[in-house]
Each structure stands twice: as structure tokens, then as C-alpha cells.
Structure 1
Amino acid sequence: MSEITLGRFLFERLKQVDVNTIFGLPGDFNLRLLDEIYEVPGMRWAGNANELNAAYAADGYARIKGMAALVTTFGVGELSALNGIAGSYAEHVGVLHIVGVPSTSSQAKQLLLHHTLGNGDFTVFHRMSANISEATAVLTDITSAPAEIDRLIRITYIKQRPVYLGLPANLVDKPVKASLLDKPIDLSLKPNDPEAEQEVVDTVLDLIKEAKNPVILADACTSRHSVKAETKKLIDLTQFPSFVTPMGKGSIDEQHPRFGGVYVGTLSSPEVKASVESADLILSVGALLSDFNTGSFSYSYKTKNVIEFHSDYIKVRNATFPGVQMKFVLQKLLQKVQDAAKSYKPVPVPKRPASLASSGPSTPLKQQWLWSELGKFLQEGDVVITETGTAAFGINQTHFPSDTYGISQVLWGSIGFTTGTTLGAAFAAEELDKNKRVILFIGDGSLQLTVQEISTMIRWGLKPYLFVLNNKGYTIEKLIHGEKAQYNEIQDWKHLDLLATFGAKDYETHSVSTDGEWQKLTESAAFKKNSTIRLIEIHLPVMDAPESLIKQAQLTAATNAKQE
């Protein structure tokens, strides 16, 4: 073929950057575009239950594969997705949001079309997306369209932020040269300014030479901006004690002998808190310093020698170096850091907390024991997804095996996010390794917001573990305010009937209420294999929660009640 349609060009380009599943919903302004997905071998259309869930799914897929694509229709569809897109923007996740928009002639004539506000303004929704997108464009010219598509895909991948692409219905079938596909999209980072980079590296090395008690702290963007390998090598070469934040969980191998635990300010264990806060040098990689990620901003460093490595700037003490990317700085640092750290004498890292002992097999299940015990069930390569609420806090107590990827939307915190995310992560995991397990922990309240996406999992034969924490309502909200308030209550569902309701034929359901039932289930060899989709209802006391969440809830309530 000497020519292909612009629609096919778009999906061929996405396939070239390893995006093999497209999320979204059909709408009349994108229907012809969706036809082109089936023209690309190996490409599939997920077909979500609603646009919000589709955005969540794209987020989960992108966290595992590095980038995702979402297709919605103009107005009604794209606006339904924006909460999910905003979360991806806040948490540095690369999602290309493709919107099928009315034809260029309809826009030019300002026709009173459906899905508009009735005022002839076809740009309003595009403008809404601009504030939560790294870049936006609506294609208007077929001659420049392929290059524009390439540019937007590159930005999505490099910047790890959502990008908006409006594609008019009349351009989808327009021909473009097929030979344009022969040149790969350049996904490499542009080099740093050499002088600024060298100044950063030299300053960091000098601080390392002088440090007696340094630590490494890895946060969310260690994973998002692909510097996990560099961070691991930095730990290996320096032997500095190393910690993660809640958002950074999984960024450092928790089996590494120099891993010391999860640092959450005042919510940390006493040993972790003392180790981090007594440091005389902190190498902070990929920080996203939100309230729930820092114990309500309760970091109490005793030193001003803090170096923040970010995707697009470096901060050394009070000096900021804009545009200096951490990927190259870390790579250059690794060439000389071992020599700079040669006088450092390794100190012991905080010991891994011992698993909590059960009071007996008939003991009612409680969260403090559950999250401590969970590490025994997890395997190398697992993707562990925890919903905002008790799960997102409890998982900090769980010791991960090597190569475990944690997903928890700590910053944006949109309740129900993880159902769609589990779908996207399960698609991504299947593409990487069919034996890779995807494990969700979600509260009964959160599940009610996005439960429909379980039907999409069943439709595609995906095999995640769906652990539903049934504590009869919004426990995290009850802990913050309104323990007995009606607005924190929900309708109790028959969770074990959900898979059958959504049409599953091959599935498992389990109900767990005691320590013994949990141990029997999770120690089963058959259960450990992801051979089918499973829903496990875990019954917990209403106000039971991890200790860290109880403390965080008190801090949040106090902050919310402050008078100016």
C-alpha cells in the first residue's frame, strides 16, 4: 500500500509504541475511527462500560506499559472521562485522549449539533481539557496531521502526562503516505544543558563525599519516569539506606538488603522515622509531596542537604536547575558515585517488622493483621492495586516480593478508581506475561462507583483477583468525620453474586471472615495460580482500619477544621 487512512495511521503509530489495547466507548463522532482499529493486526478495542471507567483503565494500562490510548466522542463522552484524565495528570501517567469531533465543515458553519452546548462553540470542551493536559491539538489539515499525531504521541510518552487529540470525523478516511510509518517516532529525551548538568553532578558528588549518614528516598516518579534501574544501581554502588513513600511503593526492590521501609513522616514506624529524619543528606528521587504521601506534610528532616531529582528539574538545597532531567543526571552520577561514597560506612537499616501473630484460626479478621500477612501470598511480578481508603494505607505494612508493582492513587484519590485500573492493568499484564497476577483490594463503598467494569474483565477472559473489603460503608470517611452519619452508609450488596450477574461462566467466589479462612485460602496452590477471575469478599469490623489510616484521619480532620 502506498497510502493508508489517517485513522489507520494513528493506530499503527500507537502499535509501534507498544500500545496494543485501546480503551473508550463508541459515539457517532468516532465510529468511523473505531473501524480502523481492526485494520491493525494485534490491536484490540477494549470497549468499556463508561468513559470514566475507560479513563481509569487507560491509567492502569499506562502505569504498566508506559503509555495508553483512550477514545471518546465529542462533548458528552470526553467530559465523562475528565475526572480520570485529571488523575493521570496529577500522578504523571501518559494517556493519549483521542476525541472524535464533528467535521471541520460543521464546526466552520457553527451548526447546532447534538452533544454541543447549543451556542455554536466547538472549542469549549477542548479548552476544558487544556488545563489537565500536557499538550492539546485538534487536527484541521491532512497534510500536517501525521506529524502532529507523532508529536502528540511523543509528548505523551516522554512527559508522562495526558495529551488531548481532537480528530474531526471527515479526516479519518483521508489518505496519507504509508511510508511515513517507516520512520519510528523519536521517544528519546533531549540532552540536558551540559554546563547545568555538570554543575548538578559535581555538587551532588561533593555532598555525598561529605555525608556521614545519607539516605535515598524513592517516590512515585521513580517508576513513572523510568529511573527504577538507575535508582537500584545508586543503592548498590553507595549502600545508602533506602526508603520509599506510599506513592513510591514498588519503586525499590523491597527484598534488597539496604531497603529500610516506607517513610510517611509522623505516620512512619519509629525506626524508619528516626533513620530518615536523622540523615545528613537525603537523595529524593521522583518526589510527589502530597498530604497523604507525607503524613499531612509531616516530613521533619534535620538537614537542609536535600537533593530532589525530578523528570524536568533538579533541586539541590535551595537552588533549582530548571530543565535538567533526572534520568541523565542519575546516569552521569552513577559513573563516579562509588568513589565519592567510598568513605561512607554502612549503618544498619531498620529491620523488617515481624509478621503479626494470629490469635487463632477462629479470630475475626482485622486489617492490621491482614496487611502484615498479605506479603506471604504475593509473588514476584505481581501487580498490587489498592483503592483509596483502608487498602491504600494498609498496603504500606505489606512487604513486597521483588519486581512487585504497586498502584495506589494517593494524590488524586478518586474513589472507585481501582476497578477500571485493574481492567487496564490486567490487559497490560496479559500482554507482557499471561502468568502475571493482578490483585485488587477495594472497599465495598468504592466498588459501587465503578463496579460495571468487572463485566469488561469477564468479556475478555481476564483473570484478576478482586478482594472486596466489606466493612459496611465508607470507613475512611467515618474516621475523618461522621462515624454514625447516614451519608457515610451504603446499601449492602451480595458481592458473591456479582460475577454471575455480569455473565461469568468460569469464575470463583470466596467469603473470608477469620484468620484461619484467610490462611487456608491464600496457602492453596490452586488459588495462587491466576487460572480464572476470582472475587473474594473479606468481612471486616465497621471501624477497623490500619493504624496509619487512623492517625492520618485525625490529622486530616484537624486540618479541615482549622480556622484562618
Structure 2
Amino acid sequence: MVSDDIVTRELENPMDVAEYLFRRLHEVGIRAVHGVPGDYNLAALDYLPKCGLDWVGNCNELNAGYAADGYARVKGISALITTFGVGELSALNAIAGAYSEFVPIIHIVGQPTTQSQKNGMLLHHTLGNGDFNVFNRMSAAISCYVARLEDPRDAATLIDSAIRECWVRSRPVYVTLPTDMIASKVNGNRLKQPIDLSLPGNDPEKEDYVVDVVLKYLHAAKNPVILVDACAIRHRVLDEVHDLVEASGLPTFVAPMGKGAVNEAHKNFGGVYAGNGSNPGVSEVIESSDLILSIGAIKSDFNTTGFTYRIGQLNTIDFHSTYVRVRYSEYPDVHMKGVLRKVVQRMGKLNLSPIPHITNKVPESEQTSSQTITHAWLWPTVGQWLKENDVVITETGTANFGIWDTRFPANVTALSQVLWGSIGYSMGACQGAALAAKEQNNRRTILFIGDGSTQLTVQELSTMLRNKLNPIIFVICNEGYTIERYIHGWEAGYNDIQPWDYANIPKVFGGQDAYKSYRIKTRDELTKLFANKDFSTPNQLQLVELYMPRNDAPAGLKLTAEAAAERNK
């Protein structure tokens, strides 16, 4: 490697690599960095305050990864810092989930010096075999770009490229930062030119051709509909989607992973389509349509109630980040953003069909004198309590499926991990989301998580208290892993958990007077709590033990679990 003295003499405005990296993070909107300190990243962490970044400091790297995921889903991008080997490996489950679900996280790993690595030294946090690249290779498979900062001459270029790829491709990137690179010098004048985060434009001729093909079938359709899914959110085409909904007047639906992508207060909104688990009246409209504009679909098992979609490709136009498929003809290298924009501009009048009327009314079968809190009663009731601009997080399990029956107010951001489905994800994600929401005029953040899932990542309550965050957390107490019970082992001991005193856990974590907790066992108690102004406009963390029957679950979960059990045989 060229000596730092030679490099510094060649630069007009020398700047330390760590400072350059962190100032670039600030440039793209990141204001807080998640992670856990370790000896190979400690010196780098000293640069955070001067670059306008806060250090969160999580309880472990897995939780930090989950938190970075939640922060990115609210703010658009996030950063995670871990240490070599032991730290980065602990975060890999979270990074894999972010890769799976198209969440942009910049994962920065502090490493031993470049010379130590070249010499294959027998250092702590290694496998003892001199291979310092083994962890890079692990992360490369779940990252869309790897930037190994080993030479100051190309460090700034690699940093800029990593951030751009993270944003444009909406997936994690992996950045190594050896300790001897932290204070190496790069050209600070590069900061005068912001990173270009714009999408590469489509070939105009190809784009116009695809738009003409789409419009041909759209104008011929007698009852077209719009179906929006997660990749519309991840690949930042919501403005185009909203304009399409408004201009077309077409019935508009979301898949479970697309919850929050569409303004559910809009007159065109017709509910959630998930095959057999759809909202009432929705599957009939979708499945009888002669043209479905499917935007950003992820047709996974949990997102389709066990692959129970009944829509044929002959009646579908798929819009994605790297291609558009019109019926059975695929057009590669055509991004949906430009195509959707032109479709809206050239659309004209379309044939319209009726839109199902979806409300948060509790089903008549649940309008009884019973005080038992059931899922069929809970989720419409939650919808009546939610407010515009809320951030709503649901854990894999009953909450993930139950939220399908909640019609959101306008501008609600929904977080769930339907595809990757790592149990415990949502507690960490809640910390990151609540921090991001605090940066966005203190939006209200609400988490629904099961008692079993809570036991995996409960330490992040401590991080929330430490950072003075004020989410409302509902711990659904139903005696263990309900989703697992429905798949297999209803009475098996492996689906049981040790009952915890959840309401007092914040006190154990030093919360003292910085939180409030509640135990809710009846419908009247929950209705009264929802009506409490102090509870609904929190200025501190609030935790609710919400007791529900062990054998109760949303209909969508039961159907999906049944399909999963059949496939597992």
C-alpha cells in the first residue's frame, strides 16, 4: 500500500477515511448509527459526533441489525457498525432478512490492520487459520455490493459506490474498515459533489414500446384492478402508484407485504388480497378481473396464504425494478418507475368496476357480551384507534396475519417481515423505527409482538429506554409459539415458554419512571385504554400485556399454517 504521507501530499483537502464515510452517511439522511462497539471499530466510532451522527449502542449485534432494518424502512436507508468476526456474524441473520426483503443497510465492519491480514496473524476473533477473508465471503452472498477499504487511493470511490448501490438496489452492502485505514487520507473535496442516487434511466425507445403495450391491454380490459406489493415500497415508486390510483379510479388492493403502500382511506382502496386469506369480497373481485396491474409482487407462501393466489399470468401485467412482464412477454432492463409514470400520463379513460367496501367494523359474530379478546375482535378495533402517520410494526405470527383485517388511516407506515420471518425481529425493528419516527416529527410508533417472540430480543427495551424513545408495545400473551402450534406440535413442550412478568421488564432494565405498563385481559379494559388520551399520545415507552386465548389465531394464519404443515410432510 502507498504510504499515507505520499497520498496526503497529493491531496488538496485531505480527510480521514472514517470522517469521509460518516459524512456521506449523513448526506443520504442517516442521523443515527446502530451497532455494538468492538476493539476493531472503537477508533472509528470517535468520528461519529463530528459528522452529525448519533451512536445508538444496541444490546447485541443481531438486535442492532434488526434495528437498522426498522430504521431503514422508515427513513429510507440505515447504517450498522459491527466488529470483525464475532460481531459481524451475530448480525448476519438480520442482514439476510434485509437482503431477502429489499431493505437498504450499509453494514460497516471494523477489521484488523491490512498488514495483519496479509501476514495471516493469529489474532483474536479469527478462526485461527490465517484466513481473514472467510467472513467477507459469507457477507458477500447477502449483500448487493462489497467495498473493501484497503487502499486510501480508491477508498472514497468505493464508499460512494457502496452507498449508491445500497440506495438504488435497495439491499444491504458490506464495507470493511481496517483499523489502519480509519485515519488514512482521502480527497475531502469529493464531498462537494453529492452521490448520484438517481435510478439509471430506461432506454427511451424500449420504455415507450412497453408503455404502449401496457396501455393496449389496459384500454381493452373490461374490469382491470391494481394490486400493490412490497417492492413498490422498497423500490420507491409509491408516488407513481398513488398517481396511478388517483388518475385511473381503478379498484386498488394490497398484498400483506404491501400494507401501507396505498392510502387505505382512499375511495379506491378495496382491501388486502392474499388468496384464501383475503378480506371479505376481495378475492372475488381480483380473481374475476380480466387484467391485474401487479406492482412489486412478492408471491411467497406467507404473503399468499400458502400459495392460494388464483390469478393467471394471462391476465396479469407485472411491474418490477428490473423488468416488466405483460402477460407472457417479458421486457428485461425496464424499470417500473419510468413505465408507471408514462402510463399515468397517457392513460385516458378506463373501464371501472365496483370496489369492495372495507371498514374497521367488528364482525357481527364478535359483537357479543363476551369479554375475551379474540383476534377477530382485536384487529378491527385496533384500526379504529390508529391515527394518520402512525408507524405500525407486527411480529411474525398472529400479529403479522391479524393486521390484514385492520384498515389503516392515511399515511401509515407498516413494518413486518413476512418473507424472511425471523421470530423476534420486530422488537429490534421497533427500536430502529421509533428512532427514525422521532426524527420525523415524533411519529407514533406501535408494536404488536407475541410473548414467545419477545423472549428472543427483549433486551432492546433497554436500548429504547436509553435513547428516550416512546413506542407503544403490545405483548400478546397467549402462552407460547402460536404459529408453530398451528403448523405442528399443538401440545408439544417445545412450543411452550416460561411465563414472564413483561409489564415489569422495563423496570429491570433501569426504566424507573421512564415508562408505563398495563395488564389488559378484557375487551372493556382495552377499549378504555384506547380512549385514554395520555396512553394514546405517549411521551414515554408504554408496554401492554395483552392476554388472548392460547388456541385463537387470525383466519389467515390458520390457513397458511395448514398449507405449511402439508408441504412439510
Band the TM-score falls in, shorter-chain normalisation: over 0.9
Are 1:555 and 2:555 counterparts?
no
1:181 to 175, 191, 198: 191
Q: Tell me if the contact between 1:371 and 1:395 (Cα under 8 Å) persists in the aligned partners.
A: yes
Deviation at 1:556, TM superposition (A): 1.2
The answer for the alignment partner of 2:304 in structure 1 is: 294
- State the partner residue of 2:385: 377
Q: Identify the residue that residue 476 of structure 2 maps to in structure 1.
A: 469
Q: For this pair of structures, how many residues does the alignment match?
A: 556
C-alpha distance in structure 2 between counterparts of 1:510 and 1:498, whole Å: 12
1:276 matched to which residue of 2?
286
Shift of residue 558 of structure 1?
1.2
Q: Kindly indicate whether residue 214 of structure 2 is the aligned counterpart of residue 214 of structure 1.
A: no
Out of 14, 32, 51, which is 2:61 matched to?
Answer: 51
Tell me if structure 2 keeps the 8 A contact 1:360–1:515.
no
1:237 is aligned to 247
In the TM superposition, residue 382 of structure 1 has moved relative to its aligned partner by 0.3
Quick one: which amino acid aligns to residue 340 of structure 2? L
- 3-state DSSP class of the match of 1:247? helix
For each residue in 1:409-449, what CA deviation from the matched residue of structure 2 results, as whole angstroms up to 9, or x when unmatched?
Answer: 00000000001100000110011112x10000000000000
Q: What residue in structure 1 maps to residue 539 of structure 2?
A: 531
Deviation at 1:305, TM superposition (A): 2.5
| In 2, Cα distance between equivalents of 1:289 and 1:53 | 27
1:128 paired residue number: 138
Tell me, yes or no, if the aligned pair for 1:361 and 1:516 is still in contact at 8 Å: no
Select which of 11, 25, 34 maps to 1:14. Answer: 25
Residue 279 of structure 2 contacts residue 404 of structure 2 at CA under 8 Å; is this kept in 1?
Answer: no
Deviation of 1:344 after TM superposition, in Å, equals 1.3
**1:302 Cα deviation after fit:** 5.3
Give the TM-score normalised by the residue count of structure 2.
Answer: 0.96
CA distance in 2, matches of 1:306, 1:127: 38
Aligned counterpart in structure 1 of residue 168 of structure 2, from 158, 163, 167:
158
Q: Are residues 1:426 and 2:434 paired?
A: yes
1:354 to partner: Cα distance: 2.9
C-alpha contact (below 8 Å) 2:302/2:560 kept by paired residues: yes
CA distance in 1 between partners of 2:551 and 2:251 (Å): 35
Q: Which runs of 5+ in 1 are unaligned?
A: none
Letter paired with 1:182: K
| Match of residue 40 from structure 1 | 51
- Matched with 2:517 is 509
Counterpart residue type for residue 85 of structure 1: I
State yes or no: 1:100 paired with 2:110: yes
Q: Given residue 394 of structure 1, which amino acid in structure 2 is its aligned partner? A: G
2:505 is aligned with 1:498: yes
How do 1:104-123 and structure 2 match up within 5 A? 104-123=114-133
Equivalent residues in 2 for 1:192-341, closer than 5 Å: 192-301=202-311, 304-337=314-347, 339=348
* CA deviation vs aligned residue, 1:478-514 (integer Å, no higher than 9, x gap): 1111010000001000011111111113211011111
Code of the aligned partner of 2:481? Y
The answer on 1:24 being equivalent to 2:35 is yes
Contact 1:215 1:242 in 2 (8 A): yes
Shift of 1:351: 4.1
Work out the CA distance in 2 between the residues paired with 1:350 and 1:506.
Answer: 42
Which stretch shifts more, 295-304 or 308-317?
295-304
**Alignment partner, residue 363 of structure 1:** 371
**SS across alignment from 1:112:** coil
Find the aligned partners of 1:429 and 1:351 in 2 and give their Cα distance: 28
The CA distance in 2 between the partners of 1:343 and 1:47, in whole Å, is 53
Query: What are the superposed Cα offsets for residues 332-390 of structure 1, whole Å, 9 maximum, x if unpaired?
Result: 111101x1xx1414433344363236656761211110111101110000000000000
Q: Aligned partners of 1:171 and 1:386: how far apart in 2? A: 40
Is contact 1:416-1:447 (8 Å) kept? yes
The residue type paired with residue 51 of structure 2 is V
Whole-Å separation in 2 of the counterparts to 1:402 and 1:523: 20
Structure 1 position 76 matched with structure 2 position 86: yes
Of 533, 536, 550, which aligns to 1:542? 550
Which region of structure 1 is more displaced relative to structure 2, 514-523 or 223-232?
223-232
Q: 1:25 to 1:518 in 2, by over 3 A?
A: same
Change (3 A) 1:488 1:345: closer
Matched, 1:444 2:455: no
Contact 1:250 1:400 in 2 (8 A): yes
Secondary structure at 2:166's aligned position in 1? helix
User: What is the alpha-carbon distance in structure 2 between the residues aligned to residue 245 and residue 172 of structure 1?
Assistant: 44
Letter in 1 for 2:79: A
Relative distance call for 1:285 and 1:398 in structure 2 (3 A) is same
Give the AA of the match of 1:493: W
Which residue identity is paired with 1:153? Answer: I
> How far is the alpha carbon of 1:197 from its aligned partner?
1.1
Amino acid at match of 1:181: L
- Residue by residue over 1:163-194, the C-alpha shift from the partner in whole angstroms, topping out at 9 and shown as x without a partner, is 00111110101122322211101001111122
Q: CA deviation at 1:318?
A: 1.4
Distance in structure 2 (CA, Å) of the matches to 1:497 and 1:541: 22
State the one-letter code of the partner of 2:57. Answer: G
**In 2: Cα distance, 1:308 partner to 1:73 partner:** 41
Please give the alpha-carbon distance, in whole angstroms, between the structure 2 residues aligned to 1:199 and 1:305. 19
CA contact (8 A) 1:260 1:352 kept: no
Cα distance in 2, alignment partners of residues 386 and 58 from structure 1: 16
CA distance in 1, matches of 2:75, 2:312: 38
Pick from 171, 184, 187: which aligns with 2:181? 171
Q: Is the 8 A contact 1:356 1:373 kept in 2?
A: no
User: C-alpha offsets along residues 135-186 of structure 1, whole Å, 9 cap, x if unaligned?
Assistant: 1121111011011100000001111000001111101011223222111010
Cα distance per residue 1:194-230 (max 9 Å; x no partner): 2221121010000111000101000001111111111
DSSP-derived class of the 1:209 partner: helix
Q: Which residue of 1 aligns with 2:425?
A: 417
Equivalent residue number for residue 483 of structure 1: 490
Deviates more, 1:464-473 or 1:289-298: 289-298
Deviations 1:298-343 (A, max 9, x none): 1112561211111111111112222211111111111101x1xx14
RMSD of aligned Cα (Å): 1.3
Contact (CA 8 Å) 1:360, 1:516: kept in 2 or not? no
What residue in structure 1 maps to residue 4 of structure 2?
Answer: none
User: In percent, how many aligned pairs have the same letter?
Assistant: 49
Q: Assess if the C-alpha contact under 8 Å between 1:361 and 1:514 holds in 2.
A: no
Secondary structure of the residue aligned to 1:411 is coil
Q: Report the Cα distance in structure 2 between the residues aligned to 1:158 and 1:235, rounded to whole angstroms.
A: 24
1:270 positional shift:
4.6
Query: 3-state DSSP class of the match of 1:146?
Result: helix
Deviation string for 1:450-500 (max 9, x for gaps)?
A: 000110000010000010000010011011110100000010000111111
Task: State how far apart, in whole Å, the 2-side matches of 1:516 and 1:497 are.
Answer: 23
TM-score by length of 1: 0.97
Report what 1:457 is aligned to: 464
